[in-house]
Amino acid sequence: MKKINPLMKFAVMTFLGMLAAMTTYSQQNRADIPEKYTWNLTDIFPSDEAWREAVTELSGKLDQIEQFKGTLTTSAKNLLKALQFNTELSKEASKIYLYAGMSSDLDTRNMKYSGMKQELQQLFSAFGAKAAFIEPEILTADWATIENFMQEEPGLEIYRMNLANMFRTKAHTLSETEERIMALSGLVSGVSQSVYSSFSNAELPKPEVTLSSGETLSVGSAEYNRYRAAANRADREIVFDAFWNNYARFRGSFGEMLYGNVKADMFRARARHYESSLQASLYPNNIPAEVYHSLVDNVNKNLPAFYRYLNIKKRMMGVDTLKYLDLYAPVVKDVDLKYSYEEATRLVLESLQPLGDEYVSTVEKAINERWIDVYPAPGKRSGAYSNGAHYDGHPFILLNYTELYDDVSTLTHELGHTMQSYFSNKTQPYPTADYVTFVAEVASTFNEVLLFNHIIEQVKDDDVKLSILMNWLDRFKGTLFRQTQFAEFELKIHEEAEQGKPLTGDTFSEIYADIVKRYYGHEQGICHIDDYINMEWAFIPHFYYNFYVYQYSTSFTASISLAEKVMSGDQQALKNYMDFLSAGGSDYPIELLKKAGVDMTSSEPFEKTIAAMNKVMDEIEHILNKKEKK
């Protein structure tokens, strides 16, 4: 989860590793999409004018934070007043930013909403500077004093977790003057990400190609996502070559954007006296750095299991040489896994039955009451996410649904986030309703496990079963191995920068090529990596989110373990999981998962995941052997 500034309190916003594909819906103007498939943003504000009034009202309150300066440690009553005031501002600010941000996401070409976001970022950065005294002033007291305040004033109890964490991270909290500078740095530290988003989503030129059918195609990210899954290998070759070589034309600019982001991470880490950018990212949430390193090490040790998957794909595709451009292509001929949105919602609802009536009925509300913006449209932000920042309202989901099986999985994935936001907002007070990505991705991938198991139980035809099984294996590839590949790249580029080594577009490409070739067994002849794939790093927006991607992998391993218990009918496991969804940020993420039933500091979740992967591959090979004997 990425916070814009100290005032903003965001619930999870997550972007899938695979950006959503587009079909003919990409040609559909937003005005032509039926209303029931679009967001109802009037649930936040009835109009842009109402939003403007809310901004004006909030702006008039921001200076009032300074009235609490010098009073925070004088009494329990004063501390409570200050924290309550900050809570109300934060809640309203989140709502205001949510409206502007999601309006912008519906059409990134509309500069009006981009301007509204920029206005808020400046406003909140200025507030952060004014509120910079809060943590340093509280930390002038000792913890015993704060404990006594909480006993004296029960209203402070809901702030216990945040206050305790404040004291735990005291060594990385700066003086008031320094904190003010850190807050003001928000005006510039996000520029690289903003430039990247604007350029890659709206302004990057699209090369034109001619497909084997004679059709002319302009290849942007939407078309790339669509045609990398095309059955025709020649078309995949054409699209891959054009798409990545187009990125290579701008490798210098993309390199400067990413290096700028890495330097911003380094600035924050060094300013707060962390040993590294990685520690600065993990320590505030009390996640041991060893969890990150162990993930990378375990995946590298288990690359033979990944090679087994790649060899199965090669066998099923019947190619002499498996290439990177084959990885998204269908492996079973004449099986067209297409699902209308209505079919997708039915399957998702059926698969979620093990989670109980309240869970399922709330998902039905999300579907029927316009919490979801379903289809792609010109200018709409690519990918998918869930945002639960509207504490007193409901979460929202952005999709780019194109009727592929992956889109069904994306739908249930984002609903997992939405339900965690819904239950946390419903159960927790605002200060502990927010939760970190480390636990957020458990809720989403848990739903994917349920969907897979529901669908595979219904399938009798071997070819359809093979297609579904391979799609599920692709999830292991995309979520466990690919995201860890990204995590290793992200760690490496930060380490290089922290050692004073220069990073350019060419450097990023060299580092990325080395890692991707190792993961895919290029030198062993497992999967051929064409030279242009060294530009793939420039396509991944997650690298602008400060050690974000590893959490997809760790969460996937956690969700495999938890889902097995719930699907077995274990009622205590179900209760523990629902408690986990309702826990928000009331404890540290490692502890929340332990209460749910999985210890992420051990190797057990990873071992169970690899065992589950091998079980699926056993089943695939059994079907393939049976078919070959016929």
Q: Could you give the residue numbers annotated as active site?
A: 414
State the DSSP string of 162-213.
Answer: HHHHHHHTGGG---HHHHHHHHHTHHHHTHHHHHHHHIIIIIS---EEE-TT
User: CA-CA distance, 599 to 591, in Å (whole number)?
Assistant: 8
Q: Are 503 and 496 in contact (CB under 8 A)?
A: yes
Q: CB of 87 within 8 A of CB of 81?
A: no
Which amino acid makes up residue 21? A
Nearest to 244 by CA among 192, 203, 290, 204: 204
Would you state the structure tokens that stand for residue 561, as one six-digit string? 């373990």
Instruction: Give the pair of three-digit tokens for residue 531.
Output: 């030279």
Q: Are 26 and 376 in contact (CB under 8 A)?
A: yes
> Which two tokens mark 328?
């998204």
Interior angle at CA 433, CA 194 and CA 544, nearest 5 = 20
How many other CB atoms are there within 10 angstroms of residue 138's CB atom?
20
Determine the Cα–Cα distance for residues 392 and 320; give it in Å rounded to an integer.
57
Nearest CA to 398 out of 422, 377, 424 is that of: 377
The Cα–Cα gap between 630 and 617 comes to 20
| E strand segments, 321-362 | none
Q: Is 217 helix (H, G, I), strand (E, B) or coil?
A: strand
